[in-house]
Amino acid sequence: MNDLTKIEQKIEAKINTDVSGQIAISDQGISFSNAGEVMEFAKMMAVSQSAVPKHLRGNPGACLGIIDDAIRFGMSPYGLARKSFFVNDNLGYEAQVLSAIINSRAPIKDRPDIEFIGEGVEKICRVTVELLSGKVRTVDSPKLGSIHPKNSPLWKTDEDQQLSYHTLRRMCRRHFPEVLLGVYDIEELLAFRATDVTPERPLLADRVKDAAQKVEPEDNEGFDSNFVTQEIETVTTEEEPSEEVATDAPNDELDLGATEDAEASPDAPEPDYDPMAELPGERREAVSLFAKEYYGGMGPSVREDIRAKHDELFQDKITAAPKIAAQLKDLIDKRQIDQVCQILGKDEAWLKGTENGA
């Protein structure tokens, strides 16, 4: 019995059949009368096995998010679930879902009029809609050759279809953004990039030097800014210590970014931090297995499935396993495999599954 099966059994045992039995069903689909019914239905979705994608199995919280969107847009929860994905730990949908939402929920009189102008990389898509007010709005896409990134396979197999999805979404976000508020397709999520906006802070030595230059004592007793400045300059311009001294120096912390191991003397102490050493044996194996499978995953969608498969590992509230696993995931995504091997204490042959002919 795997971890996912255990989780599903726990969820199934907590389903309140008295509440779920009151959920109404008609030819219009499922309808809910209160939040309790919604939450019970989310549990049932999470144990639906093949009826929902892998990233939703054993995950009632994500299923609740799907149901919320389904209620908002008047769609089938299961139909919406089958068009959903996790990208960079965010819930997203196929582009056709966003187009369906626009067609059914946008304040327009009729379906959008779509036409294509030009050929090859110069091709554009034009979407024209008539609003309920009677006003007409037209939006053109960028030229096909200037659209980046092109993450969907439809760009290669049916570029007109994908270009129409792109332009329809563009039109909606410009003229009635409330319709798609908080809803993204896969291409949008893949294009998101986290940006560190933390301002740079001067080094301690620079701050001390600046402070020393600002404070001038009236006599030579006590604090002497010139002496502090001279001492700082002496430290920063001092020659590198000899190789013999460097090898005897203790390692204060483990540098995970190093690509070469420093040659240490026999008496040098071991690094005082090994993230994997803090984990119980079972968790070390789980983290290593996740890293190996994630490394071998081909493409973002496969790796997201692998991440979902190991979700129980990331929900650990007791050990540092989630933090280490997330760090390994990030390093693999950035192809910094040397650092991954250093954390795991393994070589790349083990990651590839080629060690000892594996």
Residue 349 vs residue 209, higher pLDDT:
349
pLDDT the model gives residue 258: 40
Number of H helices, E strands in the chain: 18, 7
pLDDT the model gives residue 347: 87
**Which pair of tokens denotes residue 322?**
């989630």
Calculate mean pLDDT across residues 81-87: 92
Give pLDDT tens digits for 312-322: 888 887 888 88
Q: Could you tell me the sign of the dihedral formed by the alpha carbons of 258, 264, 266, 267, in that order? A: negative
CB neighbourhood size of 280 (10 A): 11
- In the chain, CATH 3.30.160 sits at 97-191
pLDDT the model gives residue 181: 94
CATH number of this structure's domain 97-191: 3.30.160
pLDDT the model gives residue 247: 41
SS3 31: strand
The rounded mean pLDDT for the chain is: 81
* Percent with pLDDT over 70 in the chain: 77
Calculate mean pLDDT across residues 292-308: 83
Highest mean pLDDT among 174-183, 231-240, 242-251, 283-292: 174-183
pLDDT the model gives residue 229: 66
DSSP 192-260: ------PPP---HHHHHHHHHHH---SSSSS--HHHHHHHHHHHHHPPPPPHHHHHHS---S--TT-SS
Residue 7 vs residue 86, higher pLDDT:
86
pLDDT the model gives residue 265: 39
Residue 202 vs residue 303, higher pLDDT:
303
Q: Residue 214 — pLDDT band, cuts 50, 70, 90?
A: low
pTM of the entire predicted model: 0.52
Instruction: Say which residues have a Cβ less than 8 Å from residue 35's Cβ, sequence separation at least 6.
Output: none
SS3 316: coil
pLDDT the model gives residue 248: 42
Q: Which of 260, 263, 238 is nearest to 249 (CA)?
A: 263
CB neighbourhood size of 302 (10 A): 13
φ/ψ of residue 112, rounded to 5: -60, 145
pLDDT the model gives residue 306: 87
Beta-bridged to residue 128, according to DSSP, are 113, 138
pLDDT at 87 over 50: yes
pLDDT the model gives residue 210: 72
**Which pair of tokens denotes residue 51?**
């009826």
Give pLDDT tens digits for 1-16: 677 777 878 888 878 8
pLDDT the model gives residue 204: 67
Give pLDDT tens digits for 248-296: 434 443 344 443 443 443 444 444 457 777 788 788 888 888 888 888 8
pLDDT the model gives residue 256: 41
pLDDT the model gives residue 201: 66
In angstroms, the CA 111 to CA 353 distance is 52
Give pLDDT tens digits for 125-166: 999 999 999 999 999 999 999 998 888 888 999 999 999 999
Residue 8 backbone zone (phi > 0: left; psi -120 to 50: alpha; other: beta): alpha
φ/ψ of residue 332, rounded to 5: -65, -40
Cα–Cα separations (whole angstroms), residue 327 to 291, 324, 339, 342 = 10, 5, 10, 12
